[in-house]
Structure 1
Amino acid sequence: MPRRGEPLRKLGFLTIGRFDDANPGPGIEETLEVIERAEALGFDSVWLRDRHLQPGISSPVAIMAAASQRTSRIELGTAVIPLGLENPFRLAEDLATVDVLSGGRVNPGVSVGTPMMYDHYKTALYPDTHDVEDFSKERVLRLLRALRGEPVSDFEGVVGIERFTRRVQPHSPGLADRVWYGGGLESAKWAGDQGVNYLTSSVVSTEGTESRDFATIQGEQIDAYRAHHPRPESARVSQGLVIIPTDSATDDQIRRYREYAASRFDRTTSPQGPRRMLFSPDYVGTSDELADQLFEHAGFQRADEMAVALPFSFEEADYRQIVTDLAERLGPRLGWTPTA
């Protein structure tokens, strides 16, 4: 767990993969180029958001498949696939296929719960079963069982010239151990009990805590996760915050970055909405300033890895500057070493 003088084990970033819905090709190509550049800069991972009915990545598994053929080393993750829109059986087939193609580099992050804006498209998604679908954590368990190679069929044998097996094909050993789950305190405990990896983000649930400090709450949730994990020494925890280094930014970029962070600050002062969610401030500054802030952050102190969340609405040149500074300036100040 990185404190000053201790290395950050892995560094990556999270992208939404924006595109113009009237001409999506260039934006999707830009996402693939970002992943290629990340590998060249020595990042350990790139994580893809999953957005449905929006001009962003709606099929991260397809993007990972393409990226797997243009990279050789970097881990490819999802943060996160909402399983309410997926059939775990079919998703397991797709994830395993891409994991085999990539040589074992896929890190599927998943979530459960009623999908966002579900009432507006539920009949298109589940015409006959939309009111009885189970959006509980059982969907995660179904995915895990399929990825582990447990039987999904009661038949194995040959019919004519076709051979059938009981488990999802292809089977990719080790993929189930790279599944990630995120959420509040109870979800952290559940993820630990299941032995899956734990994703944190720039929003936390205040459920089960008296604290109103984001970093303290995030630290409490990570502690709870490790306390419930059967092998805490090998459990992976990734922290995701909006962090914008300004070392090589122009004056105009710095001004816009600070305005962006200021426009979002009010939501960080108190819990929001019926679920009482608390947002983290966005971090903007030089890498020296950011490193000082992170080493004092209770969540960062307890994480093994970091997946920096790129802002939604910046320009390509902004992302290039931010990603480069993350790899060449901030990462080394956190004790991280790029992979050659």
Structure 2
Amino acid sequence: MKNIGFLSFGHWSDAPGSATRTAQDVLLQSIDLAVAAEELGADGAYFRVHHFAQQLASPFPLLAAVAARTKRIEIGTGVIDMRYENPFYMVEDAGAADLISGGRLQLGISRGSPEQVIEGWRHFGYGPAAGESDADLGRRHGELFFELLAGKGFAKPNPRPMFPNPPGLLRLEPHAPGLRERIWWGSGNDATAIWAARKGMNLQSSTLKADESGEPFHVQQAKQIRAYRAAWAEAGHARTPRVSVSRSIFALMTDRDRQYFGRGDSSDQIGVIDNMRAVFGRSYAAEPEALIEQLRADEGIAEADTLLLTVPNQLGVAYNTHVIEAILRHVAPALGWR
């Protein structure tokens, strides 16, 4: 059994054929797609975060709006770039969104990916300390955010406050009990996956990772997940962690599906990202019977408990609802995911 959700990058443009021509289109359609996915029985609605781009950026207004329109589906990110974040303010935003959702928030955070501008996080007022890299900055902000979510008091109260204080040191409010166990670290290599396990965060493994062995992407990803779980067990955490992977998967059910995605098999791609040789996982697009056999051989998916389907959000809510439904109805049951 697997949790199956969607992951939207939230693109918009006025290109011909785009159903999301403005930021407002993306935001409103993201809410509608989450509602539709919940009605289909999907388990999660996740959104990517990019700054300085025509894509979804600040996630918490959207997450709160989705929370208010839905009742069951998990609501999350994949991922928030912590180089840009104030961990203290983010704890308040996340706590509010989680309480609105009734405890359904699943936040993916990470160091982030290359952005649209040079050192964009500096425009937000943040930068690495002496001797740090920007990756260190992201991990430092992530660790602080994760610790603050524990809800322990740390701030000395004013002796003459506007309103009465509870006894002792004060914590950030609103506090969302249980949210700390629903934080995921987006990892691009084996070392950061092991680091996340030791810290007690869940793992989000995306559609690319550092090419650390030359093996196919899904094989390297499966090894990363196994290393993460071994590190988790060694750390002695009490609960069972969760692991997600992301894939572009399209069941070719209609002529429109074939027009968009029926261009033959894809394969892993090799590229360079931040001076790192990276392997990018393939996309899947085939008739359901063939698709089932292809996915059965994907070791990364087999190791994960959660699968996020990346959706072409610019094709609109109705088409993306069809994409999700095709996987849930015609592919997932045959693989034992449903």
CA–CA distance in structure 1, aligned partners of residues 138 and 121 of structure 2 = 17
Deviations 1:82-139 (A, max 9, x none): 011110111011001111111000001001168624526455322xx54648614121
Measure how far apart 1:158 and its partner are.
Answer: 5.6
Measure how far apart 1:47 and its partner are.
Answer: 0.6
Which residue, out of 4, 12, 16, partners 2:5? Answer: 12
Partner residue in 2 for 1:257: 261
- SS of the equivalent of 2:170 reads coil
Partner residue in 2 for 1:75: 74
Measure how far apart 1:255 and its partner are.
Answer: 2.8
Q: Check 1:233–1:299 CA distance in 2 against 1; reply closer, same or farther (3 A cut).
A: farther
TM-score with structure 1 setting the length: 0.85
Deviations 1:186-215 (A, max 9, x none): 0111111112111111111123xx233111
Q: Check 1:306–1:57 CA distance in 2 against 1; reply closer, same or farther (3 A cut).
A: same
Partner residue in 2 for 1:148: 150
Measure how far apart 1:271 and its partner are.
Answer: 4.5
Letter of the structure 2 residue corresponding to residue 179 of structure 1: I
Which residue, out of 199, 207, 210, partners 1:205? Answer: 210
- SS of the equivalent of 1:159 reads coil
Partner residue in 2 for 1:5: none
Q: Is the 8 A contact 1:215 1:299 kept in 2?
A: yes
Aligned residues: 320
Q: Check 1:19–1:304 CA distance in 2 against 1; reply closer, same or farther (3 A cut).
A: same
Partner residue in 2 for 1:240: 246
Q: Check 1:150–1:333 CA distance in 2 against 1; reply closer, same or farther (3 A cut).
A: same
Measure how far apart 1:304 and its partner are.
Answer: 1.0
- SS of the equivalent of 1:322 reads helix
CA–CA distance in structure 2, aligned partners of residues 253 and 244 of structure 1 = 8
Q: Is the 8 A contact 1:177 1:196 kept in 2?
A: yes
Measure how far apart 1:151 and its partner are.
Answer: 3.1
Partner residue in 1 for 2:173: 169
**15-24 or 53-62, larger mean C-alpha shift:** 15-24
Q: Is the 8 A contact 1:157 1:163 kept in 2?
A: no
Partner residue in 1 for 2:18: none
CA–CA distance in structure 1, aligned partners of residues 63 and 294 of structure 2 = 33
Measure how far apart 1:153 and its partner are.
Answer: 1.6
Partner residue in 1 for 2:302: 301
**285-294 or 220-229, larger mean C-alpha shift:** 285-294
Q: Check 1:47–1:212 CA distance in 2 against 1; reply closer, same or farther (3 A cut).
A: same
RMSD of the TM alignment (CA)? 2.5
Q: Check 1:142–1:123 CA distance in 2 against 1; reply closer, same or farther (3 A cut).
A: closer
Measure how far apart 1:172 and its partner are.
Answer: 1.0
CA–CA distance in structure 2, aligned partners of residues 236 and 315 of structure 1 = 30
Measure how far apart 1:167 and its partner are.
Answer: 1.0
Letter of the structure 1 residue corresponding to residue 170 of structure 2: R
Letter of the structure 2 residue corresponding to residue 320 of structure 1: T
- SS of the equivalent of 1:309 reads strand
Partner residue in 1 for 2:328: 327
CA–CA distance in structure 1, aligned partners of residues 160 and 67 of structure 2 = 33
TM-score with structure 2 setting the length: 0.86
CA–CA distance in structure 2, aligned partners of residues 169 and 19 of structure 1 = 34
Q: Check 1:179–1:123 CA distance in 2 against 1; reply closer, same or farther (3 A cut).
A: closer
- SS of the equivalent of 2:108 reads strand
Partner residue in 2 for 1:48: 47
Measure how far apart 1:66 and its partner are.
Answer: 0.4
Deviations 1:298-318 (A, max 9, x none): 111211111111236545443
**133-142 or 78-87, larger mean C-alpha shift:** 133-142
CA–CA distance in structure 1, aligned partners of residues 208 and 139 of structure 2 = 20
Q: Is the 8 A contact 2:53 2:116 kept in 1?
A: no
Partner residue in 2 for 1:3: none
CA–CA distance in structure 2, aligned partners of residues 312 and 278 of structure 1 = 24
Letter of the structure 2 residue corresponding to residue 12 of structure 1: G
Q: Is the 8 A contact 1:50 1:57 kept in 2?
A: yes
- SS of the equivalent of 2:69 reads coil
CA–CA distance in structure 2, aligned partners of residues 113 and 49 of structure 1 = 10
CA–CA distance in structure 1, aligned partners of residues 91 and 194 of structure 2 = 24
CA–CA distance in structure 1, aligned partners of residues 222 and 315 of structure 2 = 29
Q: Check 1:272–1:119 CA distance in 2 against 1; reply closer, same or farther (3 A cut).
A: closer
Which residue, out of 196, 214, 218, partners 1:191? Answer: 196
CA–CA distance in structure 2, aligned partners of residues 315 and 110 of structure 1 = 27
Q: Check 1:130–1:189 CA distance in 2 against 1; reply closer, same or farther (3 A cut).
A: closer
Deviations 1:198-252 (A, max 9, x none): 1111111123xx23311110011001000000349711111111111112x2x24
CA–CA distance in structure 1, aligned partners of residues 180 and 245 of structure 2 = 20
Measure how far apart 1:55 and its partner are.
Answer: 2.1
